[in-house]
Amino acid sequence: MADESGSSGVTPQYVAAVLVVQGYVVAPEAAQAIAAALAAQVAADGPAYARLAFEAEPAGFFASLQHGRAR
Amino acid sequence: MSALHTLTLAQAAIAVRERRASAVELLDAVIARANAIQPATNAFIRIDEHLARSQAVIADSEAARGQFRGPLHGVPMAHKDMYYRTGVISSCGSRIKRDVVATATATALERLDAAGAIQFGVLNMAEFAYGPTGHNYHFGHARNPWNLDYITGGSSSGSGAAVAARASFAALGSDTGGSIRAPAAFCGVTGLKVTYGRVSRAGAMPLSFSMDTVGPLARTAEDCAMLLAALAGADPRDSTASSAPVPDYVGRLARPVAGLRVGVPRQYFSDDLDASIAKALDEARRVLAGLGCAVVPIDIPDLAAADVAGTHIIAAEAAALHGHWMRTRPQDYSQQVRARLERGLALPATRYIDALRYRGVMIDEFVRTVFSNVDVLHVPALPIATPTIAETDVTAGGAMDRTLALVTKFTRPFNFLGLPSLALPCGIQPSGIQPSEIRPSGIRPSGIRPSGMQPTGLPSGLPLGMQLVGRPFAEDVILQLGHAYQQATDWHSRAPAL
């Protein structure tokens, strides 16, 4: 696992618990694999998301797409 | 006239209009070809010959009276099995939906019908369009017609294989992370991923509503332009379908490309890039420069974060769509798809929302910094040479995950950004080189093949692909440039020997 120590918070225990809440049970090996993949992704996207302004919201995509067309 | 099944879509449509070929003759040609290649490629899930033949007879009687429904009058084609048609089964490549009869017809099919096209079958695909390789554990894997040991790419696997093998003049695919462009590149055909919202998704199986797009795979950019002209436009059944004006895509193909600024990114697209693909891209840039384009290097924003954010959006939305079936019928999913859906169930909601919030910021930055300086980006479609079916199988272990990530590395960022991209062939794997010898994973092919098939020899001669990426809703520009490139080269006219 990329970060099994838990600094990202994405541990196999977390994954198993989140899935159980949704009515879905996974084997410990599956939870470990999922946690490894998610931890790696969280580490990769974190710096990008840190640039997000407080006001940024999803609808900005559609406005930017239209604006991009008009340029 | 050439064997009818070898015509391009545009040539077939003109042949019908000029009464040099009938719709029935075209249908006979493609069905004969489909039946011939099906045992080897498994490109089709079903061929609906009876209904298509009755429609072709009607089309011919209309043509005899000088009546033509539209520019695709009498042209037969098959589509990825995820476009619903009232009264017909759309399996979506799954066990769960393999017997479910649709109660509405997809807008895309309605528009092709209105243009005169005739659907004669449905094509193989990744289960629920959630896989980039062409594996399907319910209907059998689609096989690359250039070499049956190799993947077609996915998720529009049958669309790529059937069009490449000249068993359909064109096919609808869908592209959420590269599912049109990967099979187009692996199979040596032309595939168009449209701007998000350019084509209605109503009646098409959803995978990720923020990222899904509907588009064609065909033999040429001209064919894609004809299909997009029929497909594009607003739709009251799909609130995301844009009301932006629909240009004359076909008419604009003939515009001169001299003076277009073609950007070559300095970042991201040279990472993990196979040497043979890099060489083919260099040669393509020389062709574009020879056409009068200004080919210039350009700095681009970081796409690695866009790739991850796109992964999060697809994972979360797919998991939400499949949540009920995942809880009640998990055994009916293949292991590969179930594992990917499980990841989506575990994704924190804030991560998904941040990915969506980041999207607007990123597209704004990308358009501002890139498309204020160039008209089109020229990038590889894939970083790696074609993998085998065996080495991308779920049993292949850890190397599989890395290979799967590489397959979508150059395509998914443009889904995240919502930008249009045309994938088209630009070379052939050098003769005598085993793609596995120059692939990062280094895994040898295992040689799994359908029973009764003869060995095909060394896998040289597999196609290589590139992308032309445009600003939002500039499909006309990338089709124009793709058409000019295909007038100057013949990669698109090469067909597998199958």
B366-375 pLDDT per residue, tens: 999 999 999 9
**Tokens 């930055």, located at residue:** B365
Question: Model confidence over A46-62: pLDDT tens digits?
Answer: 888 988 989 898 988 99
B439, pLDDT greater than 60: no
CB of A71 less than 8 A from some CB of B: yes
Q: What is the mean pLDDT of residues A65-69?
A: 87
If you average pLDDT over every residue of chain B, what do you get? 93
- Look at residue B443 and tell me whether its pLDDT is greater than 70: no
Q: What is the pLDDT of residues B449-473, one digit of tens each?
A: 444 333 344 446 899 999 999 999 9
State the nearest Cα–Cα gap between A37 and chain B, in angstroms.
Answer: 8
Query: What residues in B contact A14, CB-CB < 8 Å?
Result: 346
Q: What is the pLDDT of residue B411?
A: 98
Q: How far is CA B367 from CA B61, B64, B269, B309, B421, in A?
A: 50, 50, 18, 18, 14
Q: What percent of chain B has pLDDT over 70?
A: 93
Question: Which of the two residues, A68 and B44, has the higher pLDDT score?
Answer: B44
**Identity of the residue in B304, B356, B367 whose CB atom sits nearest the CB atom of A44:** B304
Residue appearing with tokens 């004809």: B226
Looking up tokens 């895309």, which residue turns up?
Answer: B108
Q: How many CA within 13 A on the CB side of residue B91? A: 23
> What is the token pair recorded at A16?
């198993």
For residue B58, the number of C-alpha atoms closer than 13 Å in the C-beta half-sphere is 11
Q: Are strands B376-380 and B44-47 parallel, antiparallel or unpaired?
A: unpaired
Residues 6+ apart with CB under 8 A from B292: B256, B257, B258, B259, B260
In this predicted model, what pLDDT tens digit does every residue of B257-310 receive, in sequence order? 999 999 999 999 999 899 999 999 999 999 999 999 999 999 999 999 999 999
ipTM: 0.89
pLDDT tens across B406-436, in order?
999 999 999 999 999 999 999 999 865 444 4
Best A21, A26, A45, A52 residue to mutate vs chain B (most B CBs within 10 Å):
A45
Tokens representing B490 are 């013949």
The CA distance from A1 to the nearest CA of chain B, in Å, is 13
What pLDDT score was predicted for residue B456?
40
Provide DSSP, chain A: -TTTTSSSS--HHHHHHHHHHTT----HHHHHHHHHHHHHHHHHHHHHHTT--TT--TTHHHHHHHHHHH-
Cβ distance B195 to A60 less than 8 Å, yes or no, reads no
- CB-closest option in A57, A58, A71 to B367: A71
Taking only the tens place, the pLDDT of each residue in B324-380 is 999 999 999 999 899 999 999 999 999 999 999 999 999 999 999 999 999 999 999
Q: Indicate which of A64, A66, A67, A71 best probes the interface with B, i.e. most B CBs within 10 Å of its own CB.
A: A64
Q: What pLDDT shows up at residue B446? A: 37
AA letter at B378: H
B63 contacts B73 by C-beta, under 8 angstroms:
yes
DSSP state of B454: P
Q: Inspect the interface and report whether the beta carbons of A34 and B367 lie closer than 8 Å.
A: no
Least confident of B85-99, B196-210, B390-404: B390-404
Q: Does B340 touch chain A (CB under 8 A)?
A: no
